Amino acid sequence: MPVINLDATPVSYMDSGGGVPVVFVPGLAGSKEWFCYQAYGLSDRYRVVSYDLRRSSGHTRYNLDLLVNDLSRLLDGLRIYAAVIAGHGLGGLIALKFAAMHPERCPALILCSTTPSFPDCTDDEFISYMLPGQPQFESTVVKWWKKWFVSRHNPAEAGPYGRLAECLTKIDHPTLIKRLEILRNTDLQPLLSDIEVPTLVVAAASDPRYVLSGSQELEEGIPGAALEIIEDADRFYFHTRHDLFNLLIADYIAEKIALF
C-alpha cells in the first residue's frame, strides 16, 4: 500500500479509479480497507481514496483539528484540490469540520452514521456501537481492549464482520483512548448553519437513538441537507449493504456536482 508522510508520520492510503475524487474517512477504529467495496464499486466512475487515520504515537495535540489538518495535507500530497468527503462515525466529524473550514475544497459532503456531538455516551457504548461484531467487553476500556486483543487474531469470531475485524490490529490502546476523548469532547452543532456545500446524511434504521436523532439534527441544521435511512441495515452498511450505499453516493454526486 502507498504511504504519505504527514509531518514525519506515515499514513497509508488506497487510491483507485479516475474522475471526481471521493475520499472516505474512517471512524473510531476503522481503516482504509473498510471501504474496499467502495473502491471496487465506484472506481469505474470516480477516483476513490481511503486512508488510515494517524495513531496518537504520543502526540501532544492528538485532537480533531489535527485529524482535519491531516485530511487537508493528504489531499495536497495526492495533488487533489477538491474532493467529495465521506466520513463514518468519527470520520464524519472530521469531514464535517473540514467542509466548514475548507468549503472550496469540498464540493459535496457525505456524513455516515454520525452526529454533531455524542452527548452522555460512555466509552463502552462508543465501543459497542462503533466496532465490528458484538464484543462482550468489561466495564472499562482497558479490560475490553485486552479481550479484543485476543479475539482480533481470530477475526472469524466476529461473524459477518470478520473482514472488518481484521483491521483492528491497526489501532493501539493509547490511540483508541485519544479518539474516544475526541468523540466525548466535540460539539459541532454551532458549525451546521455555516456549511455551504451539498450534504447527504446517511444512517441505518437500526442505528441507536442518539445516532438517528443526531442525523436529523444534521439534516435540519445544514442548509439543504438530505437524509437517507437505509432499512434492514446495520451501522456497517458500507460493507453489508454496499451496493445500495454505493448507489446512493453515485446518484448524489451525479445530481449535485455533475459538472465538477
Mean pLDDT, residues 183-198 taken together: 94
Q: Is 34 exposed, middle or buried (0-12, 13-18, 19+ CB in 10 A)?
A: buried
Euclidean distance between CA atoms 34 and 53, whole angstroms: 12
Q: What element of type H or E holds 75? A: helix 64-77
pLDDT of residue 29: 84
Fold of 3-118+187-256: Rossmann fold (3.40.50)
| Mean pLDDT, rounded, of the chain | 86
Note the pLDDT of residue 191.
96
Of the candidate ranges 57-61, 147-151, 197-201, 219-223, the one whose mean pLDDT is the lowest:
147-151
pLDDT at 258: 58
Mean pLDDT, residues 38-67 = 91
Please report, for the chain, the start and end positions of each structural domain, with discontinuous segments joined by +: 3-118+187-256
Which has more pLDDT, 92 or 143? 92
**Of the segments 144-153, 158-167, 183-192, 232-241, which one has the largest average pLDDT value?**
183-192
Q: Measured between alpha carbons, how far is residue 179 from residues 49, 110, 149, 170, 189 in Å?
A: 22, 21, 18, 14, 19
| For residue 235, pLDDT beyond 50 | yes
